[in-house]
């Protein structure tokens, strides 16, 4: 790029941590259309509830290793006693957030994903339909201009809950929508908008 790091304008939420800045620069707000990648990100955003995203970002590789790369079909195959045993084992895994409800939510979300798939629903197309299949380009001038939820995130949250997903409240869903580029909330002076 030819610019030194000091002359790059970034959204202020990522500043001060190289891994956070890299996530902001390379991934955050870039449109994701792959259904499994969207499923993974939705699950990871659910793990964030009550925590900062950087905590989950730093544990993402551990989550991917434990949860079969977030393959929803493979996860949904683990049922009954096998699922209970798996969840119990992860309660001792310091590489992830050891919260039984959050761990179980990954399985519930996989079950919901597979049900939608069996109904002929393309997960990516379904999610993107909530924003008219194109990113909503907001033009926030400051972090104060960025909402924590919107009518779209409320509608998607309601639909996800109805489909059986958990840890998908409207604030979590809005963070997900930002991360996967369904909305672009890079500040107007950000070099990565």
Residue 40 has pLDDT above 60, yes or no: yes
In this structure, what token pair is assigned to residue 57?
């970002």
How far apart are the C-alpha atoms of 20 and 57, rounded to whole Å?
Answer: 8
Question: Which is the CATH superfamily of the domain at 15-184?
Answer: Hypothetical protein; domain 2 (1.10.340.30)
The percent of residues above 90 in pLDDT, for the chain, comes to 95
Q: Are strands 183-184 and 136-137 parallel, antiparallel or unpaired?
A: parallel
Residue whose C-alpha is closest to residue 105's, from 178, 151, 53, 48: 48
Residue pLDDT, tens place only, 41-77: 999 999 999 899 999 999 999 999 999 999 999 999 9
How far apart are the C-alpha atoms of 109 and 67, rounded to whole Å?
Answer: 12
Question: What average pLDDT score do residues 134-159 get?
Answer: 96
The percent of residues above 70 in pLDDT, for the chain, comes to 97
**Chain mean pLDDT for the chain:** 95
pLDDT reported for residue 107:
98
pTM: 0.94
Residue 27 has pLDDT above 60, yes or no: yes
pLDDT reported for residue 2:
42
Residue 5 pLDDT level (bands cut at 50, 70, 90):
low
Residue 156 pLDDT level (bands cut at 50, 70, 90):
very high
Any idea where the domains of the chain sit in the sequence? 15-184
Residue pLDDT, tens place only, 167-176: 999 999 999 9
Give exposure, 31-41, as e/b (b: 16+ Cβ within 10 Å).
Answer: ebeebeebbbb
Interacting residues of 10 by C-beta distance below 8 A, sequence separation 6+: 21, 24, 25, 190, 191, 192
Start-end of H helices in the chain: 18-26, 35-48, 53-57, 60-66, 72-77, 80-90, 100-118, 123-128, 151-163, 170-179
């Amino acid at each position: 790029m030819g610019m030194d790091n000091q002359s790059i304008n970034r959204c202020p939420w990522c500043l001060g941590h190289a891994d956070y800045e890299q996530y902001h620069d390379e991934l955050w707000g870039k449109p994701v259309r792959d259904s499994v990648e969207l499923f993974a990100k939705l699950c990871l955003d659910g793990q964030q509830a009550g925590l900062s995203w950087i905590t989950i970002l730093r544990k993402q590789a551990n989550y991917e290793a434990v949860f079969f790369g977030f393959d929803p079909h493979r996860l949904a195959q683990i049922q009954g006693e096998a699922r209970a045993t798996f969840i119990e084992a992860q309660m001792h895994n310091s590489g992830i957030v050891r919260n039984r409800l959050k761990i179980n939510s990954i399985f519930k979300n996989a079950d919901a994903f597979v049900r939608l798939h069996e109904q002929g629903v393309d997960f990516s197309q379904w999610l993107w339909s909530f924003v008219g299949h194109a990113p909503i380009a907001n033009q926030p001038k400051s972090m104060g201009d960025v909402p924590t939820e919107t009518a779209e995130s409320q509608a998607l949250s309601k639909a996800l809950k109805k489909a059986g997903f958990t840890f998908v409240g409207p604030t979590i869903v809005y963070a997900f929508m930002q991360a996967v580029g369904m909305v672009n909330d890079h500040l107007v002076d950000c070099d990565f908008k």
